[in-house]
Structure 1
């Protein structure tokens, strides 16, 4: 049967091969026929006669349009007959008849680019002996700007006789008219005849046509040409045969490969059958070997498991269905005691409670037929064990190990996840969970206190983190000792703490609890010989009065803390709805300041300080100004909250100092007698400890003498624990030559001893005293006292806020030599300093 199928396949392949050869022979005959009749197959013929004029439009023309007087006329009885009379008024008289193939000017003509002839059956009567034919070819490349000429004039001139005649002209005799090439400035490569888009045929009188009447009658015009050239036709046939031969060859190669593959398949089938017979014998022998090897491996594995179980650090034992031991390793005997032996009952070794724990795990493993685990506490040894019970066909195998250390570690990890490692207080996570639980229950009122340590950063910066950690621990302990047993004290992070006062529903109760906190914090803490104050600002919110969710309560308590800090620190503020708008206003100020910094719209303006007697400018004070996005100028009072933000305040100070240094360089370059520039410095700038080095470094880099700069500080920088750092910074500046001015003197909390302790060179009388100096005896007495004090201590005295001539006169009468205020000039930008220096003496003299 297999041989029959093989013979049938071979017969089919032979038949298919001969069929292909017959097809190829037929294609060869067809190719020969195509070559023989190629002229007829490739010929294109265009015929125009009086009967076949549809689609064509003819018109007669003459030289009348070119200042001649020759004109032509169609014969109304014959579509292709016309006449014209040539007169000699024009230098080159002519007339003609043009037949348009493309009357609508769609640029669609006929392609005769592969050669051909034009044949004209013509009847001519007239004095001429030569005529011209134009075959116009459309191509937009010929068009000139401003002209609508895009047809190439391919022409030929031929002799003509009287009467009927047939004229045959090959297209290769045509040439392009010289006047057309020159008139259209055609490039040489485009000046050859072209017949790929012929749009009209034009029959015209020839050169020297002779004056008089000319009559024409065209019986037929025939244009013959090839669709493609014979060479292209032959190339197409050749390519077709190459593709056909390639396809037939590929098919025969594929069939040959198929025959070879079939033969190999038969051979492989025979080899496969022989191999299968040999493999069957080998498999039987191998199976026997594997069975023996498996038996030996199982015996070795059982022995290995026995050794592992005997020597593992875990306790392992097996029991049967009666809970009697069938196996115990040495570790199990050690843990269970000497009474644990093969055959004894497991239940006899434990109390009833322990039996219940064991039996629950055992029964779970037996019921589900899969391992069961359980952690068990063993009170006699105060130890924890992890037990895994594995069901067997004849009982249970139990693995257990001691996990007391691991349980202690897990407990420690759980504690650390909810407590602060430094102070031991609950952390933010536990605090938030407790607030959520109380708010979720909603059964009783409670108060939430947010507590910020005051001036904690200064401790870290001046005494180091060890002192800061010790202060945090002491602060936490005092908070813990001041609350009731049911209250919760937590550290939220950094110097931020929080307290939950349970059962508190009124502001008076919060104030009482806060009073206990402030009382406990009153006593200072001593660390490494340094006395550290424990001060805090507290903000409180009440549930449910100020909010029913954790987010609302925390937000409102934060707002209250901010209000407490803004009110001088070290106090309690209960949340009030009005605080929200104040907070938003402060946040808006900080945002405005940040935007102004980012857009470089913060700049110093300069108010002059003058000699009250002469009106001469002795220096300037740099005052902060900032511009909004519209370019309007604002004073520092519109962003005053930004100065409470250390980062923003520091950035503003850096920007002002950099700008002042740049402006001083410009003043010196312009040779302006500006005297000096005073820069205001806040307490925050002294806390970093590097203010003097940064300022002196900038001055040195710009080659500015320190004597050209003054630093103005208020009395508040002398107060608090940072007084030593302030003293060192001012001393460093004073030694370098920078003069120190005490601003707003008499309005702060400093004592006269500060004038001796700190290197103050100048006293500035606050504008509140100067305003009333001419109308208030008390104000006049204070101003007189400050002037005398400055004279006694050899300090300059500058009066601020002088707005009237009367105030200036009173100050001069009291002995005050220097002043500044609107009377002399408001603050001006740096570009206006030159004009101010020129105008101020004249204005003072006029006053």
Structure 2
């Protein structure tokens, strides 16, 4: 993983850098302790050699490495110089030759003392090595990371624990080869402070520093530094110990956030202030860059009522929970699945959300549903710019925080954007869903989504229910349908929409449309008079029965009475489609008992078909089953060109999804039908790598 190195500041006037002093990575030159007395740190071969003589013990990854050569070299130098002095001085004073017994005795004495001197140095080295090894083993037995970072006469690691790869994701050899790598793995927000710690080389208390490992994981550590000086008082190296405190810090942060939340609620603080403070504490204490709490709104959007951190980075993220590609983001799926969802932009699926997340600089995202009374009342969504900090333990922590937030969110005014809260005086109120009034005022309307073949032709249109609010905006079906079912109005709404859909489709049949698909639940199928209603629809508008497809949605198992109704409709010429094949009730048992003409593959399998061998195999087997049973196969939820190309290759008959068109009102579909015989051929051709003009 690439992490930018901190740009070093320009030295202050009066403290110019010394050319022969290599810079210390990550340290402002104006804070470099070697600049205080540049002459003392002047580099030369003799000085470097002498420094190694005085410090013969060097640390290494496996054990302390003792170098005997400097000690032997120093003893040999002493013998040579001492012998030369004896010979020269005797020759000058008495004119004796080198064979004079007195001179030989002097040389022998020098030799004996040099051996003794060398032995002392060797013993010093052995003792120093044993002491360094004991200290290293003692520190590393605690699991801490230790290092010695030399800053003179050269900048390098003398030693770093060999288990550094378990911490940083890179072997010790990389740090020996690249001394600045250590600094580049410091969290960008902590690099300046880390440089100051290295410069001062002394920490009275351990400092908290965040790191980013090779996989992008952010972890917290306490770092303790001590300077190493030579006999002239020069700082020549820095000894450091790093302790991973990520888990303990997160546990403590969770406790602090939970206690603060319940305490502020008990104190009667305004609800939005409580929720806002939770977001701020999560960002400050739990290693994420952005935290937000949102309310799923009736129009399918998610209204962020509180947020903290780098909020401008996510302003362009369109968070939805109802349907379509944007609802496949973490927040939308958390609402739909009622469980925490973690996503990263490098996942090959979720193309719409992935592109927006990459543009926002998001590396991972966690969405946690806030559930109260069995319903998702809000979401806690967290974004990170650095790796993926959302492991199983951390997801559990945020899930527990969300449960505490549920107490605050449950007290918010229902179905509003908090217009009555003083912290948000200008937010508009979202009116409650009045289904009965909308039906009386003719605010229900059919929308349509095309089903496209491999040549780009619109073969069929699926009719979908839409209701407009008092302000003219579309209310999400996820809100409307439960409200209508609670009032037992779905049969009435269904009859109204089916009649309107046939009215719209009649001229489209003349433009080449083959079928109109009408969603029908098992309950509607069993409504008295349903067969007569369908017969009246085709008689009134002169539509043939085979042009109408009854799409059986999976709301309940199919009993024998419902099968008899379907059998009668098929005898009349109507076509039957099994919706969401592969999930819920729509399975092989349906196909064995239904006179079906079409099977629609559930979007769950289509979503992963281009990235998962398992999903591809399941989809392929479904298409093969359809061909063997002489059924038309339709793939739902097609959103990317890769999915489209693979589905065509696997033999899919029809495709439906946002890649071609989202559900649209009749006016849009009418223009599309009149635009040409194959309006979606450019999309198909692009996915297949063919010319757009056939």
Structure 1 length normalisation: TM-score? 0.30
Greater RCO, CA 8 A, separation 6+: 2
Give the greater-gyration-radius structure (CA).
1
User: Higher strand proportion, which one?
Assistant: 1
Structure 2 length normalisation: TM-score? 0.36
